[in-house]
A and B are shown apart, each in its own frame.
Chain A
Amino acid sequence: MSGLNTFQLLNGLTFAALLFIVASGFTLIFGLLRIVNLAHGALYLLGGYAGYVAASTTGSFLVGILAAMACVALAGLALDQGLLRFVRGYELRQVLLTLGVAFVLNDMTLVIFGGDTYTVPTPDFLRGAVRFWGLFYPKYRLFVLALGVVVFIALWLLLNKTRLGALIRAGVDDPEMIAAMGINIRRVFLLTFMLGAALAGLGGAVGGAFLTLYPSADAEILVFSLAVVIIGGRGSLVGAAVGALIVGLLNTVGQVMFPEFAYFVIFGPMAAILAFCPLGLFGRAA
């Protein structure tokens, strides 16, 4: 058993940043549409593979990221309009349907990409390490950390300072009232669904560059996202950020100190939090 050092702490923080990017999409969809999208992990994986293909054919990391986001947003559009529309209003049927979608998507990526691991190629300026406080740290992971902060600020601004954000927040509180006021809440829902999916795609492309992509990565990231959302509370951006920090750091603590029981270290505290506030730290009653 060994203690934590700065390096591992930073690893925890960068993982938390990635988790935030993925889980913020999950929590947006969960909060507004009341859909628990269990295909979110599969969308992450899909984004990762799309990013890998685009980035390695064009040689541009940026194109990879954009392709991943666009591709997964389209997949989200197809999922929402093609399948979920048939089970609207039935919470449980929606969840189980997305679970079915997750199984199919996971299997399809296995058919196309096989069981090998892939790494999304990163641009030259993000390779290597920087030296600070007497330690070498990979530049790319610092980039992920910064990206997590940027995504948080962008989402916060979107939700709090724009008309769309106001509609989304109002939709979380009372979708029927919004519809009654003459606003096409369906379109807002669809946009939110695509935005949430795109965030999973972004996470996949970014995460695929340092966590690598492999067939069971979707289930792992899904479970971490679930933990983040359960801890943070449904539909809360701040909750997702706090939850991601808690899960990211606990995961590092677990992996360093009790590698065989890393899952316990994350889910134990999660269960404890849930026992005291069933709606999560920042969740509000529906």
Chain B
Amino acid sequence: MSLSSPASTDGPKVTLARVAITIGALAFALLPLVVPIYQVSILTEILIFAVLAMAVDVLAGYTGRTPLCHGAIFGVATYVVVYWSQMGGSPYVGVLLGVMAATLVAAIFGLLAIRTSGVYFLLLTLALGMIVWGVCLRWTSVTGGENGLRGTVRPEALAGHLPFYYAVFAVVGLITIVMWRFVRSPFGLTLRGIRDSESRMRALGYDVSLHLFLAFTISGFFAGLAGALYAMFNDFVSPSTVALSQSVEGLLMAITGGVGTLFGAFIGAAAIIGLENLVSLYTERWQSVLGLMFIAIMIFAPEGVIGRVRDLLTRRR
């Protein structure tokens, strides 16, 4: 849809992108050694949410379907992991189960959602996400209702802030490489083809529905990974983790960075989580700020930070 801009691969821009990525990765690797513990936990959160935003981007940017249910898929994994740890299970099995549950939910949602596109896709995924929220809120015997669940998810070895940060850093780095390979793979290129012209891809003999379904499920798998990491980070889950605002934040991060850029997710996550922490020092009205940001970005910079930079670079030559 209109949010995305085509990716181009010519010389100086690629070099620039490489430099930017290296600087970004170095910053995430070295910053925790110099900043206080509280900021380390913010950095951890940024990395985790960047994965969620990348998962959203796989659909919004590379497939041309903007989802509003990824917060719910993310939260399903968080719920399962925390629930499992509360039952006394091993955290590694819990993470496995959580990601599997999220992928399953995504597959079910995908089966329904791929029949629609555009605004209908957005609405349907919104409604599907709300089901998860409704169930988490009302099924009090399992989810604890409004009070949520608390568990000790983090394994002993990762109990400290720094070890946990570097574990997350390594996992997120790995996930990023996998996702980068994924969107660059023939499969990912087919998705971009579907984004640009569904009928043409169908005429070329591609099974569009199957590709959409797989893209949705894979995107849900990554959102589930983020959710499982978040469970370890937070040790706590409540209906607000699966609420619409979570999906909205994930989407906003993807859009702020620039949809269809993948790495923009890190910029978006850093911008929004950084702002959230900054704003909450002064006011409790984070929700208003989030809403105003959404409005401003939609009016002034729908292509996001990376999209903007890319535009400026193209215009200069």
Contacts and interface: CB of A to CB of B under 8 A. Distances in A.
A and B held together in a complex: yes
Interface of A: 34, 36, 38, 83, 86-87, 90-97, 99-108, 110-111, 219, 223, 226-227, 229-230, 259-264, 267, 270-271, 274-275, 278
B128 interface: yes
Contacts of B293: 100
Interface residue tally of chain B, by bracket? Answer: 35 or more
Contacts of B123: 36, 226, 229-230
B170 interface: no
Interface in B64-99: 66
Contact of B291 (A101, A219, A229, A259): A101
Contacts, number: 122
B119 A267 contact: no
B6 interface: no
13 contacts: A93-B2, A93-B298, A97-B295, A100-B291, A103-B294, A105-B291, A106-B287, A226-B126, A263-B130, A264-B131, A267-B127, A274-B124, A278-B116
B132 to A, nearest CB: 9
Interface stretch (B133-141, B172-180, B183-191, B309-317): B133-141
B135 A95 contact: no
Contacts of B66: 92, 96
Contacts of A94: 298
A96 B2 contact: no
Contacts of B116: 274, 278
Contact of B298 (A34, A96, A274): A96
Interface of B: 1-3, 66, 112, 115-116, 118-120, 122-124, 126-128, 130-131, 134-135, 138-141, 244-245, 248, 251, 255, 285, 287-288, 290-295, 298-299, 302
A100 B127 contact: no
A262 B248 CA distance: 24
Contacts of B288: 103-104, 107-108
A260 B138 contact: yes
B294 A263 contact: no
B299 A263 contact: no
